[in-house]
């Protein structure tokens, strides 16, 4: 009886001193990236993203039309002022296009990849097989 009690105590002591690490399906992030930057994720459908890209292309064409009309403005101060405003809008469009086409960083890219994989598995068992979601 004492041997069994000693064995149980030894097993408990080993469990307490050397806890098992639960492994994740996803590789751990480096500590400096684990917290990430403050921000939020938004879901956009493919249709919405394409509509945004089409709208940006229309805006670029509109900028070109307005710039072609600038020489017709006789007042140089007004012409220069309009040129500056057009450049600001062009910069805004370029930034927005950049956000549409790339991730905010490694943490965001990792999260986007994981979320898209989960979404794909839920919608298409043929392509993704019977893979389980992280945490299940």
Tens of each residue's pLDDT in the chain, 136 residues: 677 777 776 676 677 666 655 555 556 655 555 555 666 667 778 888 889 989 989 999 998 998 898 899 899 999 999 999 999 999 998 888 888 877 767 777 777 788 777 776 665 655 555 555 455 4
Residue 26 covered by a domain = no
What total number of domains does the chain contain?
Answer: 1
Residue 55 covered by a domain = yes
Cα dihedral across residues 83, 84, 85, 87: positive or negative:
positive
Residue 84 covered by a domain = yes
Residue 105 covered by a domain = yes
Q: Return the C-alpha torsion angle 45, 51, 57, 60, nearest 10.
A: -100
Closest CA to 40 of 93, 119, 112: 112
Give pTM, 2 decimals: 0.51
DSSP secondary structure code for residue 129 in this structure:
T
What pLDDT is stored for residue 58 in this prediction?
A: 92
Q: What are the CB-based long-range contacts (under 8 Å, 24+) for 78-84?
A: none
What is the tally of helices (H) and strands (E) in the chain?
6, 0
Residue 12 covered by a domain = no
**Full residue range of the structural domain in which residue 65 is found:** 43-126
Closest CA to 83 of 67, 61, 60, 65: 67
Residue 113 covered by a domain = yes
Residue 111 covered by a domain = yes
Residue 80 covered by a domain = yes
Calpha distance 28→49 (Å, rounded): 31
Calpha distance 130→124 (Å, rounded): 10
């Amino acid at each position: 009886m004492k041997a069994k009690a000693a064995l149980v105590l030894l097993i408990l002591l080993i469990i307490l001193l050397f806890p098992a690490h639960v492994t994740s399906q996803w590789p751990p992030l480096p500590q400096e990236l684990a917290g990430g930057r403050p921000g939020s994720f938004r879901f956009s459908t493919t249709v919405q993203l394409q509509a945004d890209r089409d709208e940006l292309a229309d805006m670029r064409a509109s900028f070109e039309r307005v710039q072609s009309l600038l020489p017709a403005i006789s007042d140089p101060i007004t012409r220069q002022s309009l040129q500056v405003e057009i450049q600001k809008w062009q910069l805004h469009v370029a930034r927005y296009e950049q956000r549409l086409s790339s991730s905010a960083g490694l943490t965001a890219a990792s999260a986007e990849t994981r979320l898209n994989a989960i979404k794909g598995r839920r919608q298409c068992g043929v392509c993704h097989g019977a893979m389980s979601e992280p945490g299940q």
